[in-house]
Amino acid sequence: MTKPEGRPARPAFLPWLVLLACATTPAQAENRTYFNPKRGGSPVAFCLGNGACGKAAADDFCRHSGYDTALTFARRQVMSGGGEEPTGFTQIKCYKPSVEGSAKPAAVTNTAGKSGRLVGASLK
């Protein structure tokens, strides 16, 4: 089938195919950053009851919030007689993949001494 100008006619479904391709977006992971995170109205503690601190406490908060893991967190520091001590978090960024079994991205965890710098680590 050809048009009067001599060009072949487009199939009728082609515009719909293009529209469908444009409307479909790839699955995206879900992230959420919690500033001054709280659980039950109280600030999230930097250490869990079992003695695990930092990343473990941030991961626990994220799991209880419906996410898989903590990508980043920032410590709340308090001056004490022995120097600075972490008492909680000023922020936690949680991650959940949109498709089960998708790879987790590299995590950034706050493990630097007193500087508060973020140091990279990978999830395994």
Question: What does the block give as tokens for 47?
Answer: 């250490």
pLDDT over threshold 50, residue 118? no
Q: In sequence order, what are the residues at sequence separation of 6 or more whose Cβ sits closer than 8 angstroms to the Cβ of residue 47?
A: 53, 54, 57
8-state DSSP, 85:
E
Which range of residues forms the domain containing residue 58? 27-121
123 with 108: CB under 8 angstroms? no
pLDDT at 113: 45
Q: In sequence order, what are the residues at sequence separation of 6 or more whose Cβ sits closer than 8 angstroms to the Cβ of residue 116?
A: 74, 75, 77, 110
pLDDT over threshold 60, residue 20? no
pLDDT over threshold 90, residue 4? no
Residue 78 lies in a domain: yes
pLDDT in tens, 79-92: 777 777 788 999 99
pLDDT in tens, 25-54: 455 679 999 999 999 999 999 999 999 999
Residue 41 lies in a domain: yes
Residue 97 lies in a domain: yes
pLDDT at 16: 56
